[in-house]
Structure 1
Amino acid sequence: MNEIKIFCPATIANLSCGFDVLGLCLDNVGDEMIIKKSTTKGIRITKIVGADLPLETEQNVAGVAALALIEAVEAKLGPITIGFDIEIYKNIKAGSGIGSSAASAAGAVFGINALLESPFEIKDLVQFAMQGEKLACGNAHADNVAPALLGGFTLVRSYTPLDIIKIESPSELYATVVHPQIELKTSDARSVLKQNVSLKSAIMQWGNVGGLIAGLYTQDYDLIGRSLHDEIVEPIRSVLIPGFDLIKQTALENGALGSGISGSGPSIFALSKGAATAQKIAKAMSAVYEEMNLPYEIHVSKVNDQGMKII
């Protein structure tokens, strides 16, 4: 195989209570990438469509992630005599809060690994994709790249050493995501966070993380809903998002199990049981932003249990 075309899915990270450790993979929202083998060594970003992003390899999240993978492959197998050309077709807006940088970073390592006949398992690719996230926001977090690569829900139990657990999604769980057309950089959204939290808040957060994981494993939708509560990050970040409180209230009033900030924002997610409820929530969310005269995009998606897909 000399060329591969892949679908690189969008993701929702944090999921209210799981800051930097929880994420899920969306099914019908994402970028596409074409990666080709080249006789010229090195990594080149040859085309980007849909976004104004740098073509320079060391300044592009896909390029940085790919370089990290190549370095590890050469350490494992010896020098590589070929190179790779990467085309990126962006459908996820940068700064939207649904894993734009993660899709590019994860897609690059997934595609190159496949063209090299898979020297690394999929789960092992997360560490390389994280280097793209580090370039994007200064922090090598895995809560977007892990679900993008593995699919379903993922829990980052530990970063040192990296330990990631995949959790299958309950069969009727759907996500609705609304993206007000403003950009909120992850680095800016991280800068407003406090470095210390109270023990009381931490205990409440631990309980909700445990409850959410238990709810996913047991397919207890009510428990999932009760656990989608963020005591620490959402109260600080929500003020950066237009109409956040009203959107969240509207989602809950229309049947959402829970609602919160998608990643670092400004997108807002809601989880629900069943496609009909998810569509009802989407209509209600849309009405709020239409009343505010604020442009937006809205997505309704089942949870994608596969992750990256070869087209």
Structure 2
Amino acid sequence: MEKIQLFCPATIANLSCGFDVFGLCLDTIGDEMILRKTAEKGIRITQITGANLPLEPQKNVAGVAAMALLEEINPGFGFEIEIHKKIKAGSGIGSSAASAAGAVLGINELLGRPFSRKELVRFAMKGEALASGSEHADNVAPALLGGFTLIRGYNPLDIIKIESPPELFATVIHPQIELKTSEMRAVLEPMVPLKNAITQWGNFGGLIAGLYTNDYDLIQRSLHDEIIEPLRGKFIPNFELIKKSAMENGALGAGISGSGPSVFALSKGFHTAQKVAQAIQDAYKDTGIPFEIHVSKINAEGIKIID
């Protein structure tokens, strides 16, 4: 194989109570990437559409992730990368993760799959570090593995994939403003009250149990963020109105996607997810802020090979 074309999906990280350790993979929005083998060693990014991003590999999340992989395997040839962005930078739905994960998966395929998808996560995390200042896997893991992914630990990296309940759908609204991940991390408190931490642990355990048992009522009771959302919500215009509209129209829960500004809602059934989308749209259109809304099933596969 000399060339590969990929669909690199958007993701939702944190999911209210799973800050930095939990994420899911979306199915209806994502980037496209094309990778080719070249005789010249190293990484070249030849084209980027849809975003004003650097072509220099060392300044691009896809290039940094790809170079991390090549440092370990060192083939006698190199790779060209084209990136066609459909996920806006700073959207909160894994734009940098899609690029970083797509780069390492594409190269891995062209090399004959020396690494499993799970093993590729550590390379993709290097790209995330360039974007946000820290190596975190809650977006790149679901992008690579699909479904829900739990990062049980980082030292060593320990990732568990959880299949989605069959009727679970996500609705995402993306207000057209940018919130940088690094800036949104800066607003967080380094210490949290023990009472809040206990509530968060209970919610996260309940969410995991609800996913494993297809218990939508338990999922609904558990989708609550005691720690991060109170600090970040104020940076998203009409955040509380979005949540209220989603919940009043049948959503199981709603919260900040990643570091924002996107807001997600999870619903049981496509019809309810569509109803939530319409309600959010009606509630938000008077703000004067342009926005996009997406309704998606949970992508069980992760990055998909198109050609």
Q: TM tier, shorter chain?
A: over 0.9
Aligned match of 1:207: 202
**Post-superposition shift, 1:28?**
1.0
**Post-superposition shift, 1:100?**
0.1
**Post-superposition shift, 1:184?**
0.5
One-letter identity of the residue aligned with 1:297: E
Alpha-carbon distance between aligned partners in 1 of 2:72 and 2:160, rounded to the nearest angstrom:
22
Matched, 1:44 2:44: yes
Matched, 1:219 2:214: yes
Matched, 1:257 2:252: yes
Aligned match of 1:267: 262
Long gaps (5+) in structure 1: 75-79
Q: TM-score scaled by structure 1? A: 0.98
In the TM superposition, what are the counterparts of 1:36-185 in structure 2 within 5 Å? 36-74=36-74, 80-185=75-180
Aligned match of 2:284: 289
**Post-superposition shift, 1:123?**
0.3
Range with bigger deviation, 103-112 or 286-295:
286-295
Alpha-carbon distance between aligned partners in 1 of 2:195 and 2:154, rounded to the nearest angstrom:
24
Aligned match of 2:11: 11
One-letter identity of the residue aligned with 2:57: T
Q: TM-score scaled by structure 2? A: 0.99
**Post-superposition shift, 1:294?**
1.7
CA contact 1:215–1:223 (8 Å) conserved in 2? yes
SS class of match (1:108): helix
One-letter identity of the residue aligned with 2:71: E
* Alignment size in residue pairs: 306
Aligned match of 1:235: 230
Alpha-carbon distance between aligned partners in 1 of 2:243 and 2:60, rounded to the nearest angstrom:
34
One-letter identity of the residue aligned with 2:16: S
**Post-superposition shift, 1:291?**
1.8
Range with bigger deviation, 292-301 or 2-11:
292-301
Q: Deviations over 1:69-111 (max 9, x none)?
A: 111223xxxxx11100000000000000000000000000000
SS class of match (2:19): coil
**Post-superposition shift, 1:292?**
1.6
Matched, 1:307 2:302: yes
Aligned match of 1:77: none
Alpha-carbon distance between aligned partners in 2 of 1:8 and 1:292, rounded to the nearest angstrom:
31
Alpha-carbon distance between aligned partners in 1 of 2:288 and 2:54, rounded to the nearest angstrom:
32
Aligned match of 1:33: 33
Long gaps (5+) in structure 2: none
SS class of match (1:125): helix
Alpha-carbon distance between aligned partners in 1 of 2:282 and 2:118, rounded to the nearest angstrom:
40
Alpha-carbon distance between aligned partners in 1 of 2:214 and 2:76, rounded to the nearest angstrom:
48
Alpha-carbon distance between aligned partners in 2 of 1:272 and 1:109, rounded to the nearest angstrom:
32
Alpha-carbon distance between aligned partners in 2 of 1:221 and 1:139, rounded to the nearest angstrom:
33
One-letter identity of the residue aligned with 1:246: L
**Post-superposition shift, 1:289?**
1.5
Range with bigger deviation, 287-296 or 122-131:
287-296
Q: Deviations over 1:154-189 (max 9, x none)?
A: 000000110000000000000000000100000010
RMSD: 0.5
Alpha-carbon distance between aligned partners in 1 of 2:304 and 2:72, rounded to the nearest angstrom:
23
1:279 to 274, 277, 286: 274
Aligned match of 1:23: 23
One-letter identity of the residue aligned with 1:118: R
Q: Deviations over 1:37-66 (max 9, x none)?
A: 000000011000000000000000000000
One-letter identity of the residue aligned with 1:3: K
**Post-superposition shift, 1:293?**
2.0
Identity of aligned residues (%): 71
Alpha-carbon distance between aligned partners in 1 of 2:25 and 2:217, rounded to the nearest angstrom:
21
Structure 1 moving runs of 4+ over 6 Å: none
CA contact 1:41–1:81 (8 Å) conserved in 2? yes
CA contact 1:205–1:230 (8 Å) conserved in 2? yes
SS class of match (1:139): coil
CA contact 1:289–1:295 (8 Å) conserved in 2? no
